[in-house]
Amino acid sequence: MNNPGQPTTFVLTATPAPSYGARPMHVHLLILNFNGRRLLAECLPSVVEAARCSRHRCDVAVIDNASRDDSVAWLGEHYPQVGIIRRPNRGLCSYNNVVPLLPGRVAVLLNNDVKLDPGCVDPLVEPLESPSRFFMTAPLCWGFDGRSYEGLRTAVDWHWGLVRATALFPGHEPGIRRAGPTASAGAVMAVDRQKFAELGGFDPVYLPGRLEDLDLAFRAYLAGYRAWYVPEAVAYHQGMATFGGVYGRAGCDALALRNTLLFQWKNLHDPRHLARQVFGLLVRLAAETVRAPWAPPQRRFALVKGLLAALRRGGKLRAGAFCAPRNSGRERAFFEEFHPRRMRSAVGQASLPAGSSQASLPAKPRQMPGPRGLFAPLAGRNACPT
């Protein structure tokens, strides 16, 4: 068994795959887990298979956030080749003191409710293979049914005083299969390890979670870095599998509202953005007051509750490693570039970074990886794309 708190990894033997023109890299596939033994049993085989199918040296490890179930024991019994990194339960912030200590250029950060297509790793990490302004890549993400699009070609706009990041904006469909910039990622992303460390990782002000991925991408954009959507890389996400079970839908919505306000107070300084926030929130508050008598008790005055919760947490919004320097020009550029209207008009214009594979996507969503090989994770070698 691995020593608690020590990053330990296992090197999988990769089969030959088509070269994209660069030397193989050292890639870490890190799965964040809290009481998710059931999810690991369903999803981990696909991650191990994707690592094996990569031309890169891929190490797979689970960052266990002090699980109280039998996750660690189950991993030791069924996947002794997968590393275990034990950390306190700090959500995505658990990556902050793991990723900078790892060797290699790239880390792929995964929720425990994510499955990977066998050919996912190589196109996902390709834009990060050489020094560039890319700090993060995001795959094409389907739901577990293999048909429901989840993203991660993400746009950002305003909705009555609140910033909203979504890949399901009106008219998003033609862009699903087109590579290009993205405003954020989510349940699965590949990051340049050094740039992630330079940015400080995920801001703990958002704990227990929600919006910390948008905050990271926004800070990276202000620093001059880019995030890239790679539809050749395919992943599958169950969504809210761990978080929803702990907080429920209403609790998750409350956290999202609180953290949206924190994101805006922390990051947005342009006068136009401040005006949109104040005006929109006043209108939202008035509408909420009118609807209050008919709203369910847990939804009544949600904005007021969110404002109070954000004010209580707001004392932690201080200058430091997680606060980017003010840059109104870059701030406006972020909202202009990732506005849904701009994202729609960019379809057909975006191309992969120089040196990237131009392989086209399949006409239909790929079959979602199943739990095949659950207790024989290196079986089924014919699943690797050729």
Give the pLDDT confidence score for residue 243 in this predicted structure: 58
Provide the 8-state DSSP code for 232: E
Is the torsion defined by CA of 80, 81, 87, 89 positive or negative?
negative
Tokens read off for 263: 């994101």
Q: Report the alpha-carbon distance of residue 333 to residue 23 in Å, rounded.
A: 35
In this prediction the pTM is: 0.85
Q: Which of 193, 263, 267, 184 is nearest to 227 (CA)?
A: 184
Give the pLDDT confidence score for residue 320 in this predicted structure: 64
What would the pLDDT profile of 56-100 be if each residue is shown by its tens digit? Answer: 999 999 999 999 999 999 999 999 999 999 999 999 999 999 999
At 301, the amino acid letter reads F
Rg (CA), the chain: 21
What would the pLDDT profile of 328-383 be if each residue is shown by its tens digit? Answer: 999 999 999 999 999 998 875 544 454 444 333 333 445 556 544 443 333 333 34
Measured over all CA atoms, what is the biggest interatomic distance in the chain, rounded to whole angstroms?
A: 64
> Which residue has 């708190």 as its token pair?
5
Give the pLDDT confidence score for residue 376 in this predicted structure: 36
Q: Which residues face 149 on adjacent strands?
A: 142
Q: Report the alpha-carbon distance of residue 103 to residue 7 in Å, rounded.
A: 10
Give the pLDDT confidence score for residue 116 in this predicted structure: 98
Secondary element (H or E) of residue 263 = helix 243-267
Provide the 8-state DSSP code for 11: B
* Cβ proximity of 140 and 235 under 8 Å: yes
Q: Is residue 335 classed exposed, middle or buried when 0-12, 13-18 and 19+ CB atoms within 10 A define those classes?
A: buried
**Residue pLDDT tens, the chain, 386 long:** 344 334 333 333 333 333 444 689 999 999 999 999 999 999 999 999 999 999 999 999 999 999 999 999 999 999 999 999 999 999 999 999 999 999 989 999 999 999 999 999 999 999 998 888 999 999 999 999 999 999 999 999 999 999 999 999 999 999 999 999 999 998 999 999 999 999 999 999 999 988 999 999 999 999 999 999 999 999 999 976 555 566 678 888 999 999 999 999 999 999 999 999 999 999 999 999 999 888 888 788 999 999 999 999 987 776 566 887 888 999 999 999 999 999 998 875 544 454 444 333 333 445 556 544 443 333 333 345 44
At 78, the amino acid letter reads H
Domains of the chain, by residue range, sit at 26-245+350-376, 248-324
Buried b or exposed e, range 320-330, using 16+ CB within 10 angstroms: eebebeebeeb
* Cβ proximity of 212 and 187 under 8 Å: no
**How many residues comprise the chain?**
386
Give the pLDDT confidence score for residue 115 in this predicted structure: 98
Tokens read off for 281: 């929130």
Q: Which of 87, 67, 73 is nearest to 7 (CA)?
A: 87
Provide the 8-state DSSP code for 13: P
Which CATH architecture fits 26-245+350-376?
Alpha-Beta Complex (3.90)
Q: Is residue 346 classed exposed, middle or buried when 0-12, 13-18 and 19+ CB atoms within 10 A define those classes?
A: middle
Give the pLDDT confidence score for residue 4 in this predicted structure: 37
